[in-house]
Amino acid sequence: MPVTSCSYGDYQDSPDAKVIIVHRPVRYDHSPAVLSSRRPFKAIQTPETAADGHLDLPVTIALHPPQPQPQPPSIPLAMTVSTSFRTLRAQVQSFTRRHDPETPPQIPLGYVVFLSILFTCIYVGVLYLHPLTRPSPKQSRDAPSVIRLRIRAVYTSCVITSVSTVYALAVLGGLDLWTSLKYMGIWPLNPLDVIKGLGLTMILFAGPLAEKFWLDRDPRDNIVMDFKTSVSSWIGWRNYIVGPITEELTFRSHILALHLSVPDPTLTTLVFFSPLYFGIAHLHHFYEFTLTHPDSSYRFALVRSFVQFGYTTFFGWFAAWVYLRYGSLWTAIAVHSFCNVMGLPRFWGALEGGMWRTAVYYVILVAGAVGFYHLVIPMTESDNSLIAL
């Protein structure tokens, strides 16, 4: 019996054959027991199937309509939130757990330079966001109201750069929290390193210290009281407390930590290149000086800014060395604050009170420089050092 097609409801009922149920028209493709359809089906060939392409009853043919696709089980919202929380907690625990990285961080140098420039722009740029913190010929930068607003601005910039640095060290560098804090010089804290760093700096400033406390001191002066009065003012608070903390946090703790994370960082790059950001951050004082001193010539303002860039960069070299050798942000802050209190040493001119005072001053100044040269390496040895010589 040749089979060419079947219609809806056609069936064959016999003791030797199962019921044929056709759900839609099908056709026979002239091969043994092969039925084609646009729907899934199953055809079972029986011995009675003719070899010439005819189907002789009885034959068992079963057509299967499409089965509904199984739907993925729905996940309750509470279970989803719980899983996300567990994943986040695992990531936080992995970040905060102490472990030694198998390989040193490998943050691309381009990313580090970009972030360093960005941090420098943020630190300076926040001073220009508020009308009262911008340089103005009608308003002094030493006004208490201006100082207070600027302090808030730089605090905000430090929060932004701190979070960005920790994120970069964790995500790009693969460091855990404690290793990140070590790179940033925040932990561990060794008070002895702070004392050694201050002692080394005092040797360098031996001449100015001798001038201030011995050679040029007025017996009527109360140095301790004068210092307390200076620090308690808004200008002193900015120069001796806030300035050293925020500048060292940004230009040493953040920028140097990122430069330590590049592939194969060199001592030359870390000590002499990274402080250039610190020097560049002070160039905006040229614009500030020309606004607040309109009677001064541009040449004088340019020379003043160039000199300021020079000594801030030079100090940045020393601060970077102290930071890297001690692995301590706190030592760098203490040294920075001490240098701000002392100011630039006297390199020329005579002291009052006779030539012997002047001669003694310059002898002590040179002796301090020589002592600093010989002690700059042995006095900066520390178990927390971030670089090896």
Would you say 166 and 303 are in contact if contact means Cβ atoms under 8 Å apart?
no
| Token pair listed for 383 | 């178990």
Same domain, 134 and 1: no
Query: Which is nearest to 10 in space by CA: 157, 20, 2?
Result: 20
Catalytic residue among 247, 248, 285, 336: 247
Any residues with CB less than 8 A from the CB of 315 and at least 6 apart, and which?
275, 278, 336, 339
Same domain, 134 and 258: yes
Any residues with CB less than 8 A from the CB of 18 and at least 6 apart, and which?
60, 62
Same domain, 70 and 157: no
In a domain, 387, yes or no: no
For 48-87, what is each residue's pLDDT tens digit? Answer: 444 444 444 444 444 444 456 666 666 666 666 666 666 6
Residue 44 lies in domain: 1-76
Would you say 339 and 201 are in contact if contact means Cβ atoms under 8 Å apart?
yes
For 154-191, what is each residue's pLDDT tens digit? Answer: 999 999 999 999 999 999 999 999 999 999 999 999 99
Query: HSE-up of 280 (CA within 13 Å, CB side)?
Result: 15
Q: How many domains does the chain have?
A: 2
Catalytic residue among 23, 48, 54, 282: 282
- Write out the H or E segment, with its range, that includes residue 324: helix 298-326
Q: Let me know if 352 is a catalytic residue.
A: no
Per-residue pLDDT of the chain (389 residues; tens, 9 = 90+): 444 344 434 444 444 444 444 444 444 444 444 444 444 444 444 444 444 444 444 444 444 444 566 666 666 666 666 666 666 555 555 555 555 555 678 899 999 999 999 999 999 999 999 888 998 888 888 999 999 999 999 999 999 999 999 999 999 999 999 999 999 999 999 999 999 999 999 999 999 999 988 887 766 666 677 777 788 899 999 999 999 999 999 999 999 999 999 999 999 999 999 999 999 999 888 888 888 888 888 899 999 999 999 999 999 999 999 999 999 999 999 999 999 999 999 999 988 888 999 999 999 999 999 999 999 999 999 999 999 87
pTM (2 d.p.):
0.74
- Mean model confidence pLDDT for the chain: 81
Domain boundary among the residues 76, 91, 109 is at: 76
Domain boundary among the residues 23, 43, 76 is at: 76
In a domain, 92, yes or no: no
Q: Let me know if 282 is a catalytic residue.
A: yes
Same domain, 41 and 151: no
Same domain, 25 and 148: no
